[in-house]
């Protein structure tokens, strides 16, 4: 595995600095070549923080709550409706 080199101050290297500023502004990587051969990849270190859409919190008046619990099933999957029966069966000794 290649050893990582330390930081390099490019403040005084105008050409390199312009390339870095271009990559940062575009927020895209750029392949650097020497004699038409790939030599290094220039990657922006920090990109703008784009806030992800998180929606809004629900409230008691949200229409979503009208559909909660509206599905009804029969059989062993309807635990909420028959919780006592299911708990008794779960804790009963075998054969009772």
Mind listing the pLDDT tens digit for each residue in 24-67? 888 889 999 999 999 999 988 876 666 666 777 778 888 877 77
* Greater model confidence, 13 or 76: 13
Structural domain includes residue 26: yes
Give the integer Cα–Cα distance in Å for 28 and 80: 52
Output the pTM of the full model: 0.44
Please tell me the predicted confidence (pLDDT) of residue 36: 92
Structure tokens at 76: 């062993």
Structural domain includes residue 23: yes
Phi, psi of 33 (to 5 degrees): -120, 150
For tokens 């290649």, the residue is: 2
Confidence of residue 93 (pLDDT cuts 50, 70, 90): confident
Residue 1 has pLDDT above 60, yes or no: no
Please tell me the predicted confidence (pLDDT) of residue 27: 87
For tokens 């949200």, the residue is: 62
Structural domain includes residue 76: no
| Total structural domains within the chain | 1
Residue 40 belongs to domain spanning:
9-47
């Amino acid at each position: 595995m290649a050893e990582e080199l330390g930081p390099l101050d490019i403040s005084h290297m105008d050409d390199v600095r312009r390339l870095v500023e271009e990559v940062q502004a575009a927020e895209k990587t750029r392949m650097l070549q020497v004699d038409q051969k790939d030599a290094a990849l220039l990657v922006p270190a920090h990109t703008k923080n784009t806030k992800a859409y998180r929606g809004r919190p629900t409230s008691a008046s949200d229409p979503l709550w009208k559909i909660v619990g509206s599905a009804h099933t029969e059989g062993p999957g309807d635990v909420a409706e028959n919780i006592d029966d299911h708990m008794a069966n779960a804790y009963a000794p075998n054969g009772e």
